[in-house]
A and B are shown apart, each in its own frame.
Chain A
Amino acid sequence: MDISKKIVDDLVANDVSFITTVPCKQLAGVIDEVEARPEIFHIPSNKEDEGMGLCAGAFMGGKRPAIIMQNTAIGVTINTLATLTQYYRMPLPMLISYRGELREPVACQVEMAVHTKALLNQLNIPTYHFHKESDADELDAILKYTFMCNKPVAILTDASFWGGYGDQ
């Protein structure tokens, strides 16, 4: 089964109906799938902290939200995660492309990759790393966990998980 379709199937099955995205090449397929699903309101945001604000509002309005973004966004959103999502105890699944890992062609991406897990750890954000396609079998359980405990949860998806970058 197409992995983007499987991921969005799991989101829909867990009643996630409000998704904001900031694009990444690795996430293009999953973003297309989000846009295509009638069960999901897809609202692209211009910056990830803005997106987390949208998700906070949607959650308080009774919808289950999610954000799809690059790991560079962790650098952008630390204040929002700490003072909004965590402080008011709100759930937020974060599907994150883990740029700068093995098979990365862009050197600068490595500069945030080396900080990504340390920052998530410092924030006490439960973090899962999808490296092989079968790792996504846990997504359903991760989503249930996120909405059970009302916390932001990070799902890092690296280039190997997405099948590399094609010609290199």
Chain B
Amino acid sequence: MIRSEILREIAPILHDNLVVCNIGLPSQELHMIDDNAKNFYMLGTMGLSSSIGLGLALAQDKTVISIDGDGSVLTNLGTLPTIANNVADNYILLIIDNGSYGSTGDQPTYAGMKTKLENVAKACGCENVVVCQDVDTGKTLQAAIDSKQMTIIVSKCDSGNIKLPVITMDPVVIRDRFMKAVAS
């Protein structure tokens, strides 16, 4: 499976939760599959999906799922020790690990070579790190939500993209409707 197929499959699970979605194609795909107020689309700032999600989870009680990519986590590798040492049991970091920088033309990442992000996360002190195959992402994500424990999921999938348009929503509109959904 490629990332957009995973997102399509897990969309019904995401739908009931607050989602912070990574820049580029992941946000464009989620926007196309199930646009709703509980999705925060990143239009820029590569690497910060996990940080924004953690800050949000620490600030309120609803479950927060950060959708990130292997390339973006590598961009902001300092996020993993911060997550490990500031446990928020309403927080799930879903790393869709296709071993490539999808939005920029599928250049390979180091996560697709020697570096295993699940091992990095564990070495940083993250306690619940689950590796799954693409087809098992939905049940793994649901189990993480049900466990009510902070969980890092690394979902291994194929690289590849679908063509779709950029998000033209105004960022303040995205942020405002998201904050209303958070507060509701």
Interface residues of chain A, those whose CB is within 8 Å of chain B, are 18, 41, 43-47, 49-63, 65, 79-80, 82-84, 87-90
Contacts and interface: CB of A to CB of B under 8 A. Distances in A.
Contact of A61 (B44, B45, B86, B182): B182
A88 B174 contact: yes
B162 interface: no
B182 A60 contact: yes
Contacts of B58: 18, 41, 43, 54, 57-58, 61
Contacts of A62: 59-60, 179, 182-183
Interface in B26-76: 40, 42-45, 47-60, 64, 76
Nearest to B175: A88
B82 A60 contact: no
Interface of B: 20, 40, 42-45, 47-60, 64, 76, 78-79, 81-82, 86, 171-172, 174-175, 178-179, 182-183
Given A46-B78, A57-B20, A87 B55 contact: no
Contact of B43 (A53, A57, A65, A83): A83
A60 B181 CA distance: 10
B182 A84 contact: no
A58 B171 contact: no
Q: Taking each of A41, A49, A82, which has the highest tally of chain B beta carbons within 10 Å of its own beta carbon?
A: A49
A76 to B, nearest CB: 11
27 contacts: A45-B78, A46-B79, A50-B47, A50-B48, A50-B79, A53-B45, A53-B51, A53-B76, A54-B82, A55-B55, A57-B20, A58-B59, A60-B179, A61-B56, A61-B57, A61-B182, A62-B60, A83-B44, A83-B45, A84-B42, A84-B44, A84-B48, A84-B52, A87-B44, A87-B171, A88-B171, A89-B171
Contact of B55 (A56, A79, A89): A56
A60 B47 contact: no
Q: Is the interface of B mostly helix, strand, loop or mixed?
A: helix
B179 A54 contact: no
A44 B171 CA distance: 27
B79 to A, nearest CB: 6
B72 to A, nearest CB: 11
A87 to B, nearest CB: 5
B175 A65 contact: no
Given A49-B48, A79-B44, A84-B44, A89 B175 contact: yes
Given A50-B48, A54-B52, A61 B59 contact: yes
Contacts of B47: 49-50, 53
B55 A53 contact: yes
Given A46-B82, A62-B183, A54 B55 contact: yes
Contacts of B52: 53-54, 56-57, 60, 84
Contacts of B54: 54, 57
